[in-house]
Amino acid sequence: MQNSTENPHPQHPDLDLYPVDRLVEVLVEDQLNAAQAVWAVRLRLAEAVRESIPRIAAGGRLIYVGAGTSGRLGLLDAVELYPTFSWPRSRAIALVAGGADALADAVEGAEDNDQQGEADLLAVRPVANDVVLAIAASGCTPYVLGALRAARASGSLTIGFANNPNAPVLTAAQIGIALVTGAEIISGSTRLKAGTAQKIALNSFSSALMVGLNKVYGNLMVDLRPVNAKLVHRAISLTMHATGVSEEIARHTLVLCGYQVKVAIVALKCGIDAEAAKVRLAAARGNVRQAMRG
């Protein structure tokens, strides 16, 4: 397997001699390749979303698996789903080689243990409706491959993300997404554009999945969890924007609806109380447009 992420960059052998302006310029410029790498596999990402929606809608979980930067990016995507889309924390699980200690410090050798990857995956009791996202810049991380092996055996849908074409993580997964970013400006530092490509891909995947699960109305984030003052203000603004009511009415209705923006929108648009709006939303599986049609 060609491991292009480890190759020295051919264009900048004297990087350490660059003045600061030039140094920042080339680092930022190279990051543009990350977005291009994700764009090139947008159809594979769409396939992954289509295959995931029915499984997750049927009660499945998202299980992210990675080591180092890839593991931390998986964790970041998982934890942000709760405040953004009210996604249950128990249904977005992140497995990182080395466990919690690896989030702040490198745990030497953890990523090389395929048996631990398999054991960690089995410990969360994967089932057929689960979706396992295996993330590895090199595409050959043993910990991730061990988890993939266990996921396939359990019948879970497996989606592999790697930054080298034809990498084992891609071929071992049912859907392989090759984010081919090539050599890094700083040789082997995949926290650079390889990591950026992974972040874009995971953001795009999980956001599209949440739209497909009726977590968005129009382009409004209407299923957020207002866990702080900023998000409370955002909930009020979203309700105002969706319904055209004043801030006072939006705030009052949200209080009656337990600060559930979707419920408040349906209640205001249909002229019904919160309980009736909840019933409509439940019947429409959370789809605001269908709920408003009754």
- Quote the pLDDT of residue 70: 95
Which tens digit of pLDDT belongs to each residue from 73-88? Answer: 999 999 999 999 999 9
Give dist(CA 40, CA 177) in Å, integer: 10
Which residues pair with residue 63 across a beta bridge?
Answer: 93, 132
Task: Please give the positions annotated as active site.
Answer: 80, 111
- What Rg do the C-alpha atoms of the chain give, in angstroms? 22
> Taking 80 as the threshold, does the pLDDT of residue 2 lie above it?
no
Structural domains in the chain, sorted by start: 4-212 (3.40.50.10490), 229-293 (1.10.8.1080)
Which tens digit of pLDDT belongs to each residue from 126-164? Answer: 999 999 999 999 999 999 999 999 999 999 999 999 999
Could you give the angle at the alpha carbon of 211 between the alpha carbons of 205 and 216, nearest 5°?
A: 140
Distance of CA 108 to the CA centre of its chain: 26
Give dist(CA 194, CA 204) in Å, integer: 15
Torsion of the alpha carbons at 11, 16, 20 and 26, rounded to the nearest 10: 20
Tokens of 253: 């209705």
DSSP 159: E
Cβ neighbour number for residue 87 with a 10 Å cutoff: 24
> Going by C-beta distance under 8 Å and a sequence separation of 6 or more, which residues neighbour residue 11?
none
Which tens digit of pLDDT belongs to each residue from 57-71? Answer: 999 999 999 999 999
**What's the pTM value of the predicted model, to 2 decimals?**
0.93
Give dist(CA 294, CA 88) in Å, integer: 27
Confidence class of residue 5 from pLDDT cuts 50, 70 and 90?
Answer: confident
Could you give the angle at the alpha carbon of 55 between the alpha carbons of 39 and 63, nearest 5°?
A: 70
> Taking 90 as the threshold, does the pLDDT of residue 9 lie above it?
no
